[in-house]
Structure 1
Amino acid sequence: MQNVREQVAALNELVAQYRYPEAFDRFYDESLLNYENEQPPMVGLSAERDAMANFLASVADQPHTAELKNVLVADNISVSEWLYDFTHKDWGKRRYTQFTVQRWKDGKVIHQRHHYATS
């Protein structure tokens, strides 16, 4: 089994390449709890898959920019800093920094929270 640092690096490489389905298959637990800022959680990997598919269908300029800036890993927790730049069909042009905090168990993400400005 890979250590958490190696798993985080491999996951982030898939995200940077927009290979979300592969990332979900390899690194996300079926019981995932995923939070967008302070919103109630999406429960389960299938909900995360659906949300990502809906988001990507609404991004007008494919591929969008997902640039990894920094990563911290300690114990079974990772924090990845991303720069996202895209145009959404409903929201318009978006460019923001996002921090994704993930808790890992048995090689899978079990809890994830995305932090970013909403205005």
Structure 2
Amino acid sequence: MQNLREQVAALNDLVAQYRYPEAFDRFYDESVLNYENELPPLVGLAAEREAMTNFLTAVADQPHTAELKNVLVADDVSVSEWLYDFTHKDWGKRRYTQITVQRWKGGRVIHQRHHYATN
């Protein structure tokens, strides 16, 4: 089994390539809670998959950027800083920094919160 730093690096590599389905299969718990800023959570991996499918369908430009800037790993927590740059069919052009905090258990993400500006 990989140590947490290796798992986080592998997960972030998949995210940087927009390979979310593979990331979910390899690293997310079926009961994961996912928060976007202060919104109510998406509960469970099925809800997370649906939301990500909807998002990826709406991202209009190619290529889009998901650039990893920094990573912290301690105990069972990882924090990743991302630069995202894309065009969404409904939201228009977006370029922002996002902080993602993840709690891990048994090699899987069980809780995740994304922090970013919404305006």
TM-score range relative to shorter protein: over 0.9
SS of aligned partner of 2:11: helix
CA–CA distance in 2 between the matches of 1:67 and 1:92? 19
CA–CA distance in 1 between the matches of 2:38 and 2:115? 8
Shift of 1:41: 0.3
CA–CA distance in 1 between the matches of 2:63 and 2:56? 9
Taking structure 2 as the reference length, what is the TM-score of the superposition? 0.98
Shift of 1:92: 0.5
Which amino acid is the alignment partner of residue 5 of structure 1? R
Give the corresponding residue for 2:113.
Answer: 113
Aligned residues: 119
Shift of 1:55: 0.4
Shift of 1:2: 1.0
Listed one character per residue, the Cα deviations across residues 6-60 of structure 1 (whole Å, up to 9, x for unaligned) are 1000000011111111000000000000000000000000000000000011111
CA–CA distance in 1 between the matches of 2:12 and 2:42? 21
SS of aligned partner of 1:49: helix
CA–CA distance in 2 between the matches of 1:56 and 1:114? 17
Give the corresponding residue for 1:24.
Answer: 24
Taking structure 1 as the reference length, what is the TM-score of the superposition? 0.98
Unaligned runs of 5+ in 1: none
CA–CA distance in 1 between the matches of 2:17 and 2:56? 13
- What root-mean-square deviation, in Å, do the aligned CA atoms of Structure 1 and Structure 2 show? 0.6
Mapped pair 1:47 → 2:62: no
